[in-house]
């Protein structure tokens, strides 16, 4: 008799479905926004900078649930595309504050329909009530497990 533990059916594992849905969501986002050359993380960062002018990189990372050690590269790419600019903080010369450029703010306006279309494509198979319940349940799960993340989200 074998002591090998039988494999688990992936279809029984919520984490597997969450990972697959993330893959699908990124694929749909990239398809819908390909004309803009914007990744989901770049969108989240730009969106947060527009919403919070003068945000610092550490606060930005926490607000979008992204790792502080790699947010600099995201901001570098946004700055290289002239969508955000860094300014030295008047309170702390070591800190850099982030501001959207007019081009970055305009990009956010232009990409919005594509982002909303992406969300609708993801949730489209569900009824309106199911969509609201699904998003509500996701928010509960993310909040309850936030501290387990390598990049816990805060604020907003």
CATH of 15-144, one of 1.10.10.10, 3.40.50.850, 3.30.980.10, 1.10.1370.30: 1.10.10.10
CA separation for the pair 42, 86 (Å, rounded): 15
Local confidence band at 151 (pLDDT 50, 70, 90 cut-offs): confident
Q: Residue 1's pLDDT is what?
A: 55
Q: Residue 93's pLDDT is what?
A: 87
Q: Residue 125's pLDDT is what?
A: 98
User: Per-residue b/e over 129-148, b at no fewer than 16 CB within 10 Å?
Assistant: eebeeeeeeeeeeeeeeeee
Reference 40, options 52, 29, 28; nearest CA is 29
Helix axes 128-145, 102-123, angle to 10 degrees: 110
Q: Render pLDDT for 30-76 as a digit per residue (tens, 0 to 9).
A: 999 999 999 999 999 999 999 999 999 999 999 999 998 899 999 99
What are the extents of the domains in the chain? 15-144
Indicate if the pLDDT at residue 3 is higher than 80. no
Contacts 24+ apart (CB under 8 A), 66-74: 66/41, 66/151, 67/150, 67/151, 68/151, 71/45, 74/41, 74/42, 74/45
Q: Render pLDDT for 80-135 as a digit per residue (tens, 0 to 9).
A: 999 999 999 898 888 899 999 999 999 999 999 999 999 999 999 999 999 999 99
Q: Render pLDDT for 103-118 as a digit per residue (tens, 0 to 9).
A: 999 999 999 999 999 9
CA separation for the pair 115, 117 (Å, rounded): 5
């Amino acid at each position: 008799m074998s002591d090998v533990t039988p494999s688990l059916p992936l279809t029984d594992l919520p984490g597997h479905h969450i990972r697959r849905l993330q893959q699908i969501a990124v694929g749909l986002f990239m398809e819908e926004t390909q004309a803009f050359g914007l990744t989901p993380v770049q969108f989240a960062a730009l969106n947060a900078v527009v919403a919070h002018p003068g945000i610092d990189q550490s606060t930005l990372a926490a607000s979008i649930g992204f790792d502080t050690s790699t947010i600099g590269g995201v901001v570098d790419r946004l700055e290289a595309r002239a969508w955000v600019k860094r300014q030295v903080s008047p309170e702390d010369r070591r800190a850099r504050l982030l501001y959207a450029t007019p081009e970055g703010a305009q990009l956010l306006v232009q990409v919005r329909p594509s982002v909303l279309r992406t969300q609708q494509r993801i949730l489209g198979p569900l009824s309106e009530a199911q969509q609201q319940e699904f998003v509500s349940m996701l928010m509960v799960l993310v909040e309850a497990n936030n501290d387990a993340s390598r990049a816990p989200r805060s604020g907003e």
